[in-house]
Amino acid sequence: MASIVEIAKLAKVSKMTVSNVINKKYEKVSKETRDRIERILIETNYTPNLFARNLKSNSSKIILFTIPQTIENDPYKNTAFNNPFYGELINSIEFNLRKAGYYLMFRFVSDEEILSNLVLNWNVDGVIILGAVKKEIRTVFKDIKVPVVFIDTYADLEESDSIVTEDEQGGFLATNHLINKGKRKIGIVVSSIKEIGVASKRYDGYRRALKENDISFDDKWLFEGFPSFEFGAQIAQQIVEEKTAFDALFVYSDVMAIGVIKGLKEHGLRVPEDIAVVGFDGLYIGDLCEPRLTTIKQDITAKGKMAVDLLVRKLDGSSLSSEQLTLPVKLLEKESA
């Protein structure tokens, strides 16, 4: 409530002197005056108006974290946050931003809205974007000079700052593990491999593992669909109905994989004896499943920290050329494969 001018009046000094005390520029202020002002600041419960400060400095200390997606008109249909992956990531990002002195603004946005509504309007100091982003949007960020860190985006990597996981390697490890277990008819369940992205990279790793082990891929081994628990269960139905027989499945995400296992068991198949399943992410819900899910673990909390650290390097100018960082993965063997 109290502004710097009122404090100045109370302390019988100019507002500039108060500003110097607030900003700890003590060379300009005598011990006496400083003490007096500080006492008044506490008494009046003064806090600076950040709008005024930001207007001057043109910096907001706000970082926008966003997941571009077609915005549903029905919040019941937006199941993104049902996947604990997002929760763990946003938790880590908020934590690390807070530590670095920034504020997190979160918003689901459509591609167009990213620009018009938020980056420019709010003078956010930086942006963290999760998932696929259209190329036009990516280039615009360059023009307006707001640092952007992309997470899990593969297009135009060489021009952007980005964090990705060893997706190809993960797909390879998962498939190789199944092969080592003696499996030979290995299907893959993914979201969509039409565009280069997380799913297609994991698929590439899967294909490499097959190839290196002289297993020829069959088109019928590929299942694409929405990466949800429910869809995983539907896929299981398909797999049982199809004539093609499988002895193993590599599934794009843990959530989907748990759906697959649930579905397989409902059709009387045993996991891993009849069909072994490997997931991807290493979420705690893999342990809720029976059998517990064998999966490719990525450290999501570390991923969030990498993104924030990189963004902070951009903001303080200590990183000038673009950086592409990769998060390692490892196989987490439980019971489903």
Partner DNA sequence: TCCTTTTAGTTTACCGTTATACCAATAATA
Partner DNA sequence: TATTATTGGTATAACGGTAAACTAAAAGGA
| Footprint on this chain of a copy of itself (rule: CB under 8 A) | 1, 45, 47-52, 54-55, 60, 62, 75-76, 78, 80-84, 86-88, 90-92, 94-96, 98, 103-108, 116, 120-123, 144, 229, 258, 262, 284-285, 287-290, 301, 304-305
Question: Taking CB within 5 to 8 Å according to partner kind, which of a copy of itself, DNA, none is near residue 262?
Answer: a copy of itself
Q: Which is nearer to DNA, 16 or 71 (CB)?
A: 16
Please measure the distance between the N-terminal and C-terminal CA atoms of the chain and give it in whole angstroms: 62
Task: Provide the Cα torsion 113, 114, 120, 126; round to 10°.
Answer: 160
CB of 42 to DNA, least distance (A): 15
* Residue of 254, 263, 267 whose CA lies nearest to 294: 254
What's the rounded Cα separation, in Å, for the pair 37 and 21?
7
Q: Which is nearer to a copy of itself, 193 or 249 (CB)?
A: 249
Question: Taking CB within 5 to 8 Å according to partner kind, which of DNA, a copy of itself, none is near residue 28?
Answer: DNA
Tokens of 94: 């908020």
What's the rounded Cα separation, in Å, for the pair 222 and 204?
12
Q: Which is nearer to DNA, 125 or 281 (CB)?
A: 125
E-strand stretches of the chain? 62-68, 103-109, 126-130, 148-151, 161-165, 186-190, 222-224, 248-251, 276-281, 294-298, 324-327, 329-332
3-state secondary structure 282-302: CCHHHHCCCCCCEEEEECHHH
Span of 32-40, 71-79, 97-105, 110-118 interacting with DNA by CB under 7 A: 32-40
User: What is the per-residue binding string for DNA in 47-76, x denoting contact by CB under 7 A?
Assistant: -xx--xx-xxxx------------------
Tokens of 149: 């860190």
Q: Which is nearer to DNA, 52 or 302 (CB)?
A: 52
Which chain residues interact with DNA by CB under 7 A? 3-5, 13-17, 19-20, 22-23, 27-34, 48-49, 52-53, 55-58
